[in-house]
A and B are shown apart, each in its own frame.
Chain A
Amino acid sequence: MEGWTIPWIACSLVIGAPVLLLATLGLALLLETGISERMISRLVQFSVLTGLTGAVAMLVWMLATGERDVPFELGNWVSIPQQHFHFRLKFLFDRLSIPFAIMTYLLVGTIGAFADKYLHREPGFRRFFMCYSLFLLGMILSTLAGTIETLFAGWELVGLSSALLVAFFQERPAPVRNGLRVWTVYRIADAAFIVAAVSLHHLTGEGDFDALTGYGAWPTGQTTMSAGQALFVGSLLLVAAAGKSGLVPFSGWLPRAMEGPTPSSAVFYGALSVHLGAFLLLRVSPILERSPLLCGLVVGFGLATAAVGALSARTQTDIKSALAFACVTQVGIITAEIGLGFRYLALCHIIGHASLRTLQMLRAPSILRDYHTLENAIGGRLAPSSRIWQRMACSRIGTSLYRLGFERGGLDASLDRWIVRPFLKLLTACDGWERRWTDFLSGGGSRESDQVRPAPQPLEELL
């Protein structure tokens, strides 16, 4: 086993660095040590560099030895044999996870250095980096996950930190509302994910990707599931991926996520967490192969997303929403590529898209200057629209297409109308029955909260 010391060290660096960062930052904040901005930024630098070194070392080792599939077992953490339940921590280094992990470290590290200056003197500086380290750990856990429960753990951390960062400016109502919305969509995705995981356990008795994706290194694994099982589990995973990656019909959350500080929007929604759904589909690609119908579904969802995204991106008038829909478009195309079986293409596309979009997002506030420079270079005003559109704009179809893009494909509104409202109505009705029942039992008004008016306080100092 002597040859295994290098990968073991590398693996512990890759995983250990974000764990350590989260633990140190978390403890420092919990104990109210008043940790300084400089200290935080050093910690972040150190752990990102350590993790990155580990990942690169692993890559070099794998290239040198020709290993393609290196698993690391950390044993069962929870085990309930009667229920056939175990929580097994296992990490997997292969051609999918290594590039993803390196990309994560590079982008997150760059953003860390950026945010250190960008958020200088911001009251939420520490809170930001707390979410940041949570996010880093979540990303690394999910990319390197070797079992579905590990992936889920990482996936949850990413979701939690993302929602908290959307609501970063918690003193204003809009970020909190949109953060809640993102969180809700994530919960739906999580629910689908967990149902898929449970069914997988039932079908195969374990949560290893081996069972899910068959045996053999990515992307050539073969699954042992039947086509029907694959379709069922696969569809649930597709819903999970759709929620996380902003596919149709959930695309509306992505532009809403632009509430946080620019760097967090850039790295989280522009580059990393938005690709997590696609990553999941890549991870389970062997079951896609099993069921052509499932592949068709994936392609369909992907293309529909790309169409809505492309249409909406053209009508956006602010830079961040435009970039968000551009992102939706490309993620849709990536999903379609996965459905069509182009794994490596999809992987390249993800890496290229993440890098480019992060740069664009970070430079978003430069848009005025960029346009000014471009106008000077061209020697006149920029013509925004293509000739085809100019011809089409006056027609009925033109207006209809514009309206569709303007209303962002009507996705959010339809979700609100067909899902949220019926759901709320049902719950309100339940609440009404309960109130009637408790009123009856207590023989009068049973709820004190009914008396409290939800009045906002006016500016106190002006009184």
Chain B
Amino acid sequence: MTTVLDVEQPSTESDPLTDRLEALRAIIEHAAHLLPAQGPITAFVHHNTLHAFEHLPFETAVVQAAKVFGCHPFLSEEHYRRELERDRIRESDLEAVLREDLGPAADDPLLGVTRLDLRMTMLRCPVRTAPAAELRWLVAEADALRRFRSAATPQMRSRMIQDTRRWVMREVRSKSAPRPGDACRPVWLPDLFREFGGAAEDRWSDEAWESFTLSTLWRLCVEGVRDVRSFAEPHIEPVRHRDVLLEAAGVDADLEVHETLIRFCAAFVDQGFAPWPLPGREFGLLDAFVELHSGGPSVSFNWMADVRRDLQDIRRQGRSPLESIDDSLRRLGVRDDERPDFIRATLLALRGWAGMIQQLETRSDRAARPLPRGSLVGFLAIRLLLDLHAARHLARSHLGRDVDLRTLRSELRLSLATASGPAAESRAFQMFQVAQFVGWKPAELAGLTKSDWSLLLQEVESFSSLARRRVMHLAFERRYRLRALDAISLRAAQKPAERVTPQFQAVFCIDEREESLRRSLEELCPSVETFSVAGFFGVAMYYRGAGDAHDIPLCPVIIRPQHWVREEVVESLEDEHRRRAQQRRLLGQASHHLHVGSRTFTVGALLTTLFGPLASVPLIARVLAPRLTGQLRRRAAQVVQPPPRTRLRLERRAEQPGPTGDHVGYSVEEMATIGERVLRDMGLTRHFARLIFLIGHGSNSLNNPHKAAYDCGACAGSAGGPNARALAKLLNDPGVRKRLAERDVPIPAETLFVGGWHNTCDDALQFFDTESIAPARRSELLDALSVLESACDQNAHERCRRFLSAPLDLTFEEARRHVQERAEDLAQTRPECGHATNALCIVARRSRTRGLFLDRRAFLQSYDPTRDSPDAPILTRILQAVIPVCAGINLEYYFSFVDPIGYGCGTKLPHNVASLLGVMDGPSSDLRTGLPWQMVEIHEPVRLSFVIETTPETLLRVLDANPALKQLCVHRWAYVSTLDPSSGRIHDYRDGRFEPYVPQSQELPAADTSAEWYRGWRDHLGFALIRDALHPVRPADIETDRRGA
């Protein structure tokens, strides 16, 4: 019959349906933007958690996102108030922020105080809120009506009591009726007066007067707020059936839905963990689900039987996921106009898994087993089916009747609206407290008309908790920014050092963790010059080490590498290499079999009975002596590791780049381009030292699913050693140097580049290709390496001040051993602090910041404005990379700290690696995205402040030419300032233009060494000048110094 209809009216029948489904698809795609954009954590890429809101100004965006995700936009008031107590925020900051917000309206009078006073008081004193029941208890039983809130000052308290005393005497004693124009006398006042003891008022104790004042105040507030409309933001209506049911009946339909859905999603996206993969995975999400559940008998929730019937229908009618969604929405009674909200809320209910499905679907290049297109739609189809039946079942069993799902929400909402009591008491309680803090006396309040009350309430309620948190947050950021800008401008005011030829130069990543290492190096050896560029060193490549199985992209995520580089073992050791690879393969296969086998019946039984007791040896050894065991393990592994003498295959023989054979590598021309670009970026085109170290970084730790999040951000969550090695090799190449000389970058023949990497967890340094260095240069190299080693010890020491488990009186060597142990310890949940505390990004010459103690909080990018042309092409390409990457890292830390449960992934302790791509809390939960609490614990959530050494005009031009950067800066996802290259004056970017910044302080504290400044201190530290590192010294001067000593 359907066929007949189709034939008769093909166009009119099909078109509305397709349109409808297309509209549905668009809605889903739109909602999917809100899902977390975190891919598998094996390659962790930091990005702005609220990337989807970047088109809005930061302050608006966080509040909107708070509503959409149910997460916190800022820290709690309590947290900020603690910061206020310890002077991290100052009252002057609060006042400045308020004045800027309010403009001239700040000084409007409000019942004896100004608006500014009122707001400052509300910021200073905590206004308690409580549910109605607790409130009633507070008023009736606790001492809310007996004692002033402790935050009210004693002067305020006694002034109010005195005033009330005079007022009540006048009112109660005067026999005459109140004359017009008098403050009106509440009718209950005489009764209350009598309750407290009446006539014998001169014998009332102070406590009695205090209590009387408060009782009067409370009654006035209760009367005052009555019938005044609320000025607080309206409560958000629940959208999903589950939300309404939860509110009405206290049952959570998501519990059972999620149990089924999580297990299924985990099996579907599994990257190869389960020995048995899900059957029918290749058919797509919905079909695999149908296949699994509509088949033979199974025991599950009783409503799953209904789901199974629907699934069989879907299979029989060959319904597509979109059609199924459309059908479910209709059965759920979701109107067309509420579809976007409903679908958004439904997708976000299990946002971790939904987001991962979307990531595997859209970024198929980043996963071992990507998903086919349309998987997210399939997910939604399943989810809605489960939601539908779970809601029906729960409604039936908890409301005791069969319900129509289409009208369920409106019915329950109606009953909820009548059930929820008026919030009048809590409004009164708020006014009651504010009056105590501000000093609004009962006599004054008694004289207010309804419209006065309305104005007053509006004033108080519009400065809601959310608004207060915003102001406090801005003040919190302001204080840090003022200190930072002051320090930088004071440092810039120092007279510039004369140029000396350095003993050696070292180039690091811009990562803020390398700041302390650079400072230590400059302190230990003042004749050293340091630079920094993004840690992929301009070499964007797919890299495969001699012992690796896969090509790994080593460059920022936004770049897709066009070149492949391989590590090879030198010819003389090739046989050895082949033999070891064979051994590794055998060992690997054996251990994989044992690993999986230990969880099976037979192999597991044999293994545990025969060899199980042996496991106690590594168990006890690794827990009790992690460092020693780690060393032993490494030594044992060396037997089968690739032979130590390797080299990079960097030069390409074929015309086109590719992953195999002669296509591997770069042409000389390409290498010269890379070299020139990197050197120009950091302003190193003259004054080359004889030795130049290029040092990438990475982090090694155990038992840490989030390991990649500690690695180099510029290498997409891998270690940047190979990039440094590649750049060193190509800059040492005579052919490349010849071309560079032609392009006005003359590298002297005696200059030698050495690549290496710094392990930011155990502070080890490893250098590559040092064995091929001419013997004549060895002693020079060894000298430099020993300085670098000492710098690492010192760096470890500075890091240790942040670890509570490291005593404060460690020596440098002990500190080094401490961090080594952390890296090898299975029990260590904080192998290092990662990017925590980052707050600043300085794009400038090192001479601008050298000797400034930045407390490992500043990303540093070398940039020499004097060597850039007026239209700033170098600055442009630097900022294109640095602003999004650094702001991304900073914002991810911001959100994971501000709401560790909602935006972050909570504490690491119960984490459970699921499907080899993410972590869950315990055996079954949503996939947790964001950063774990242990990683962000010591962070200060402030937006990143960029300080860029250039003129305001140049930067304005650069921003205008790059809308993406401009958007981030204009909307204040990061602060931007310029540091004038010649005058050292600072300009602040605000609303699209630059204004001069006036430094607030005149002096910067100074210390001889960093250790002197930080020793004995665990918390964040202020800026200081470190004299030893301040100026470069000629190597010859040090010699004389030493001899003199």
Binding site for B on A (CB under 8 A): 106-107, 110, 113-122, 168-169, 172-175, 177-178, 255-256, 258-263, 306-307, 310, 313-326, 329-330, 333, 345, 348-349, 351-360, 362-382, 384-386, 389, 393-394, 396, 398-400, 402-407, 410, 413-414, 416-417, 453-463
CB distance from A431 to the nearest CB of B (A): 13
B 620-656 contacts with A by CB, 8 A = 620, 623-624
Instruction: Give the interface residue-count category, chain B.
Output: 35 or more
Q: Residue A413 contacts which of B42, B274, B299, B910 (CB distance < 8 angstroms)? A: B299
Contact A310 B601 (CB under 8 A): yes
Contact B703 A355 (CB under 8 A): no
Q: Residue B548 contacts which of A115, A357, A376, A456 (CB distance < 8 angstroms)? A: A376
Contact B826 A110 (CB under 8 A): no
Contact B922 A175 (CB under 8 A): yes
Q: Give the CA-CA distance A118 to B230 in the complex, in Å.
A: 49
B274-290, CB under 8 A of A: which get 1 and which 0? 11111110000000000
Nearest CB to that of B610 among chain A residues? A352
Nearest CB to that of B599 among chain A residues? A326
A359-B615, A372-B42, A463-B232 known; A318 and B913 CB under 8 Å?
A: yes
5 closest A-B pairs by beta carbon, nearest first, are A352-B612, A454-B250, A377-B588, A410-B299, A326-B599
Q: Give the CA-CA distance A404 to B828 in the complex, in Å.
A: 38
Contact B275 A403 (CB under 8 A): no
Q: Residue B549 contacts which of A177, A322, A375, A414 (CB distance < 8 angstroms)? A: A375
**Sample of 19 further A-B pairs with CB below 8 A, known A310-B601, A367-B705:** A113-B623, A317-B267, A319-B913, A322-B599, A323-B599, A329-B600, A348-B613, A355-B613, A373-B588, A374-B588, A376-B584, A377-B585, A377-B587, A379-B581, A384-B276, A399-B279, A404-B298, A453-B419, A459-B70
Contact A455 B272 (CB under 8 A): no
Contact A402 B702 (CB under 8 A): no
With a CB–CB cut-off of 8 A, which chain A residues contact B469? 461
CB distance from B152 to the nearest CB of A (A): 23
Contact A317 B300 (CB under 8 A): no
Contact B595 A370 (CB under 8 A): yes
With a CB–CB cut-off of 8 A, which chain A residues contact B920? 318
B898-941, CB under 8 A of A: which get 1 and which 0? 00000000011111111110001111110000000000010000
B964 interface residue, CB < 8 Å from A?
A: no
Contact A174 B921 (CB under 8 A): yes
CB distance from B1020 to the nearest CB of A (A): 17
With a CB–CB cut-off of 8 A, which chain A residues contact B465? 461-463
B 66-81 contacts with A by CB, 8 A = 66-67, 70, 72, 76-77
With a CB–CB cut-off of 8 A, which chain B residues contact A365? 703-705, 908, 911, 913
Q: Give the CA-CA distance A349 to B612 in the complex, in Å.
A: 8
Q: Give the CA-CA distance A460 to B129 in the complex, in Å.
A: 8
B611 interface residue, CB < 8 Å from A?
A: yes
Q: Give the CA-CA distance A63 to B1023 in the complex, in Å.
A: 67
Contact A368 B923 (CB under 8 A): no
With a CB–CB cut-off of 8 A, which chain A residues contact B280? 399
CB distance from B646 to the nearest CB of A (A): 15
With a CB–CB cut-off of 8 A, which chain A residues contact B770? none
Q: Residue A454 contacts which of B41, B249, B585, B611 (CB distance < 8 angstroms)? A: B249
Q: Give the CA-CA distance A169 to B911 in the complex, in Å.
A: 12
Contact B624 A368 (CB under 8 A): no
Contact A385 B277 (CB under 8 A): yes
Can you pick out 25 interface pairs between chain A and chain B where the beta carbons lie within 8 Å of each other?
A117-B825, A174-B921, A263-B827, A310-B600, A314-B274, A315-B274, A319-B914, A320-B923, A322-B273, A329-B599, A348-B609, A349-B612, A358-B619, A362-B703, A365-B705, A368-B913, A377-B588, A386-B275, A393-B277, A399-B280, A407-B299, A410-B298, A461-B76, A462-B465, A463-B235
With a CB–CB cut-off of 8 A, which chain A residues contact B466? 461-462
CB distance from A426 to the nearest CB of B (A): 15
A261-B910, A345-B609, A384-B272 known; A117 and B827 CB under 8 Å?
A: yes
CB distance from A300 to the nearest CB of B (A): 16
Nearest CB to that of B292 among chain A residues? A403
With a CB–CB cut-off of 8 A, which chain A residues contact B276? 314-315, 384-385, 389, 393, 402, 405
With a CB–CB cut-off of 8 A, which chain B residues contact A307? 601
With a CB–CB cut-off of 8 A, which chain B residues contact A381? 272, 368, 549
Nearest CB to that of B585 among chain A residues? A378
B618 interface residue, CB < 8 Å from A?
A: yes
With a CB–CB cut-off of 8 A, which chain B residues contact A357? 608
A118-B827, A122-B909, A363-B826 known; A352 and B804 CB under 8 Å?
A: no
With a CB–CB cut-off of 8 A, which chain B residues contact A377? 547, 584-585, 587-588, 591
B 593-607 contacts with A by CB, 8 A = 595-596, 598-601, 604-605, 607
With a CB–CB cut-off of 8 A, which chain A residues contact B608? 330, 349, 352-353, 356-357
Nearest CB to that of A459 among chain B residues? B70
Contact A461 B909 (CB under 8 A): no
- Taking each of B277, B301, B915, which has the highest tally of chain A beta carbons within 10 Å of its own beta carbon? B277
With a CB–CB cut-off of 8 A, which chain B residues contact A394? 279
Q: Give the CA-CA distance A456 to B300 in the complex, in Å.
A: 28
Contact A314 B419 (CB under 8 A): no
A120-B804, A329-B599, A333-B601 known; A400 and B296 CB under 8 Å?
A: yes
B960 interface residue, CB < 8 Å from A?
A: no
Contact B922 A414 (CB under 8 A): no
Q: Give the CA-CA distance A352 to B613 in the complex, in Å.
A: 4
With a CB–CB cut-off of 8 A, which chain B residues contact A121? 804, 937
B247 interface residue, CB < 8 Å from A?
A: yes
CB distance from B447 to the nearest CB of A (A): 30
Q: Residue A368 contacts which of B274, B277, B616, B705 (CB distance < 8 angstroms)? A: B705
With a CB–CB cut-off of 8 A, which chain B residues contact A256? 923
Q: Residue A314 contacts which of B275, B613, B705, B916 (CB distance < 8 angstroms)? A: B275
With a CB–CB cut-off of 8 A, which chain B residues contact A399? 279-280, 291-292, 295-296
CB distance from B852 to the nearest CB of A (A): 31
Nearest CB to that of B642 among chain A residues? A376
B521 interface residue, CB < 8 Å from A?
A: no
Q: Give the CA-CA distance A382 to B249 in the complex, in Å.
A: 48
B153 interface residue, CB < 8 Å from A?
A: no
CB distance from A70 to the nearest CB of B (A): 24
Q: Residue A355 contacts which of B274, B615, B827 (CB distance < 8 angstroms)? A: B615
Contact B611 A402 (CB under 8 A): no
With a CB–CB cut-off of 8 A, which chain B residues contact A369? 702, 704, 707
With a CB–CB cut-off of 8 A, which chain B residues contact A351? 612-613
B 192-220 contacts with A by CB, 8 A = none
With a CB–CB cut-off of 8 A, which chain A residues contact B604? 326, 329-330
Q: Give the CA-CA distance A78 to B216 in the complex, in Å.
A: 62
Contact A321 B923 (CB under 8 A): yes
CB distance from A34 to the nearest CB of B (A): 16
Nearest CB to that of B827 among chain A residues? A117
Q: Give the CA-CA distance A454 to B247 in the complex, in Å.
A: 7
A330-B605, A364-B912, A365-B704 known; A355 and B616 CB under 8 Å?
A: yes
Nearest CB to that of A120 among chain B residues? B805
Q: Give the CA-CA distance A394 to B280 in the complex, in Å.
A: 8
With a CB–CB cut-off of 8 A, which chain A residues contact B272? 371, 381-382, 384
With a CB–CB cut-off of 8 A, which chain A residues contact B922? 169, 174-175, 178, 258-260, 320
Q: Give the CA-CA distance A197 to B549 in the complex, in Å.
A: 60
A313-B600, A351-B613 known; A261 and B589 CB under 8 Å?
A: no
B83-126, CB under 8 A of A: which get 1 and which 0? 00000000000000000000000000000000000000000000
CB distance from B122 to the nearest CB of A (A): 14
A362-B619, A363-B826, A366-B702 known; A384 and B274 CB under 8 Å?
A: yes
CB distance from A206 to the nearest CB of B (A): 36
Contact A320 B912 (CB under 8 A): yes
Nearest CB to that of B581 among chain A residues? A379
Contact B923 A393 (CB under 8 A): no
CB distance from B374 to the nearest CB of A (A): 22
B363 interface residue, CB < 8 Å from A?
A: no
B458-470, CB under 8 A of A: which get 1 and which 0? 0000001110010
A117-B828, A358-B619, A454-B250 known; A379 and B274 CB under 8 Å?
A: no
